[in-house]
Amino acid sequence: MEEIEAKPLIPSTEEKNSETKTETEEKPNEKEEPNEKEEPIIVNNSSLIDLKNACDDHIQKFFVSKANFCQNNTHTDVKLVLGYLACGFALFGGYYGHITPFNEAKEVTFICIIAYFVLNTLLVLYSFIYEKEIIFAGSCVENDNKYTITIQTNTKRYSDVYNITYEYVGKEKQDSSIKLRNSKYTISKSFGNWFDVKGVMDIEKFERDLFEGLEIVKTGNKPHEQ
């Protein structure tokens, strides 16, 4: 009779390693990195204010994270300082009037009230004269050349057209001199180009238009010239 070699019921260490290696080769990169997907932007598409605010917010995010500009917060800082000072005078005037007899506190309280209204007036004037419709101001440095950009947005009353105005200033080094280059460009499109009937923003299309506007102010070439 032929002798049949008995195989062990428990696989050897070598067999285990070979099986593990085979499974690994069959399923490479089993743990893939999750795709970073942006959260959908959904707004009430019957509200022009909501549509504009959504676009304004995403423009700021886009220029910092995608266009690599460093945001300049000067306007925000100035408004915060004026606002905090106004609140400080109001709180001090209220507290002083509470702990001091009325006749003795009249002068201090009056000064605090005047200061509060003056600071609030300055805040409104600053927003109206200097900040205007600016939603983003930033700068970046490329090859020792400094570029600054300012973005203003607006919509006219009862109109769904959203206007994005780029103001671009480049300080470029040429030999021993610095060349200044200013350019301006405005994108005017309906919100319907970027939002569907459910109020969901087409982020990819919106960013594509933003990139196009940025390239135009940087190069000076209009779309039909490219």
Task: Please give the full DSSP string across the chain, using - where no structure is assigned.
Answer: -PPPPPPPSSPPHHHHHHHHHHHHHHSTT-SPPPP--PPP-B--TT-HHHHHHHHHHHHHHHHHHTS-PEEP-HHHHHHHHHHHHHHHHHHHHHHHHHHS-HHHHHHHHHHHHHHHHHHHHHHHHHIIIIITTEEEEEEEEETTEEEEEEEEEEE-TT--EEEEEEEEEEEEEETTEEEEEEEEEEEEEEGGGTB-TT-BB-HHHHHHHHHHHHHHHHH---GGG-
For residue 89, being part of any structural domain is answered with: yes
For residue 121, being part of any structural domain is answered with: yes
* pLDDT band of 154, cuts 50, 70, 90: very high
Q: Are residues 61 and 90 in the same domain?
A: no
For residue 194, being part of any structural domain is answered with: yes
The pLDDT, as a whole number, for residue 223 is 61
Q: Are residues 199 and 211 in the same domain?
A: yes
The pLDDT, as a whole number, for residue 102 is 86
For residue 31, being part of any structural domain is answered with: no
Q: Give the count of domains, the chain.
A: 2
> Would the pTM of this model clear 0.95, i.e. be above it?
no
For residue 117, being part of any structural domain is answered with: yes
Residue 190 has pLDDT above 60, yes or no: yes
For residue 41, being part of any structural domain is answered with: no
Q: Are residues 103 and 203 in the same domain?
A: no
Please write the tens of the pLDDT for every residue from 97-136. Answer: 999 998 889 999 999 999 999 999 999 999 999 989 999 9
Q: Which domain holds residue 160?
A: 54-72+134-225
For residue 171, being part of any structural domain is answered with: yes
Q: Are residues 153 and 172 in the same domain?
A: yes
The pLDDT, as a whole number, for residue 30 is 45
Domain C-terminal end among 114, 131, 148: 131
For residue 96, being part of any structural domain is answered with: yes
